[in-house]
């Protein structure tokens, strides 16, 4: 992972690259966002990582990326000076669930359908690499919804293991769904357009296609600590072939 982190330094010499561990994250929450400290400490390790990334970029602005990613192209190649945010399409299930309808909603507003093998929205936005200006409303709303999710019986009793929806890309996606609708767009329509073009700019937010953060601009190895060790070992071996 040290080599992967160095790819960001090497390709972006005009950016400051910072790597934070658990103690750094806790210190930041205590000193800068103490009003969210109770929520942060109520989360498990993976959920804390999710919550912290939204809060630190909300505060400072900049780009967040997981440690298991490689920067393949300089940020100046795919970010424009006027961009207020850059968000990537992570999941596209339009063809598999063309008539998807919600079965219910969590208290913070996100839709789900537990009767299907894919429970969440048919479009998913990545939270393992994203960029925002400080104070952006998408991040502010994501933080607000996580505060609700922490106490929602759906997550505390019914689905306590659904971290993706509680703090991860699921709740991030819920916010973006509503943000798009408020501007006369829909996530499925956006994905359909991004199948034909690399990026679309809406109200200062640049949405980029799925290949952008899966190989073209960023390579993500997906070595989550919650995954079976056999998968992690396999990815570790495969990663040697990407530079």
Architecture of domain 2-241: Alpha-Beta Complex (3.90)
- Terminal alpha carbon distance of the chain: 12
Give me the mean pLDDT over the 174-192 stretch.
Answer: 97
pLDDT one-digit tens code per residue, 148-175 = 999 999 999 999 999 999 999 999 999 9
Report CA dihedral (92, 122, 127, 242) to the nearest 10 degrees: -30
Task: Specify the 3-state DSSP secondary structure of 56.
Answer: helix
In this predicted structure, what is the pLDDT of residue 59? 98
Higher pLDDT, 232 or 180: 180
Q: Comparing C-alpha atoms, which of 220, 221, 219, 206 is closest to residue 88?
A: 206
Give me the mean pLDDT over the 120-147 stretch.
Answer: 97
In this predicted structure, what is the pLDDT of residue 124? 97
Give me the mean pLDDT over the 30-50 stretch.
Answer: 96
How many Cβ atoms from other residues are within 10 Å of residue 85's Cβ? Answer: 22
In this predicted structure, what is the pLDDT of residue 222? 75
Q: Comparing C-alpha atoms, which of 51, 173, 174 is closest to residue 107?
A: 174
- Which range among 130-134, 140-144, 237-241 shows the weakest confidence by mean pLDDT? 237-241
In this predicted structure, what is the pLDDT of residue 239? 57
Indicate if the pLDDT at residue 54 is higher than 80: yes
* Confidence band for 2, pLDDT divided at 50, 70 and 90: confident
Query: How wide is the angle at C-alpha 148 spanned by C-alphas 147 and 154, nearest 5°?
Result: 130
In this predicted structure, what is the pLDDT of residue 215? 87
Give me the mean pLDDT over the 136-157 stretch.
Answer: 98
Indicate if the pLDDT at residue 65 is higher than 80: yes
pTM for the model: 0.91
- Percent of residues, the chain, with pLDDT higher than 70: 91
Q: Comparing C-alpha atoms, which of 178, 175, 189 is closest to residue 130?
A: 175
* Confidence band for 136, pLDDT divided at 50, 70 and 90: very high
pLDDT one-digit tens code per residue, 199-243 = 999 999 999 999 998 889 999 887 665 556 555 565 555 555 555
Angle between helices 45-60 and 22-32 (to 10 degrees): 50
In this predicted structure, what is the pLDDT of residue 18? 93
Indicate if the pLDDT at residue 28 is higher than 90: yes
Quickly tell me which residue has 């968000």 as its tokens.
87
Q: Comparing C-alpha atoms, which of 154, 193, 185, 188 is closest to residue 171?
A: 154
């Amino acid at each position: 992972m040290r080599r992967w982190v160095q790819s960001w330094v090497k390709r972006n010499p005009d950016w400051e690259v910072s790597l934070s561990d658990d103690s750094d994250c806790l210190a930041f929450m205590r000193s800068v966002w103490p009003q969210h400290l109770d929520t942060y400490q109520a989360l498990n390790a993976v959920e804390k990582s999710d919550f912290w990334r939204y809060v630190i970029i909300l505060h400072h602005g900049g780009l967040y990326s997981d440690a298991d990613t490689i920067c393949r192209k300089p940020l100046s190649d795919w970010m424009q000076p006027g961009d207020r945010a850059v968000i990537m399409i992570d999941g596209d299930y339009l063809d598999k669930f063309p008539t998807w309808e919600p079965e219910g909603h969590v208290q913070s507003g996100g839709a789900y359908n537990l009767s299907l093998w894919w429970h969440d929205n048919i479009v998913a936005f990545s939270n393992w690499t994203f960029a925002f200006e400080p104070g952006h409303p998408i991040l502010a709303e994501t933080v607000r919804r996580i505060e609700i999710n922490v106490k929602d019986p759906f997550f505390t009793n019914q689905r306590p293991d659904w971290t993706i929806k509680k703090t991860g890309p699921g709740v991030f996606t819920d916010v973006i769904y509503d943000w798009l609708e408020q501007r006369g767009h829909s996530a499925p329509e956006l994905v359909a357009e991004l199948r034909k073009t690399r990026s679309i700019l809406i109200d200062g937010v640049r949405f980029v296609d799925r290949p952008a953060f899966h190989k073209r601009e960023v390579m993500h190895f997906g070595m989550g600590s919650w995954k079976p060790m056999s998968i992690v070992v396999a990815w570790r071996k495969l990663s040697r072939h990407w530079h």
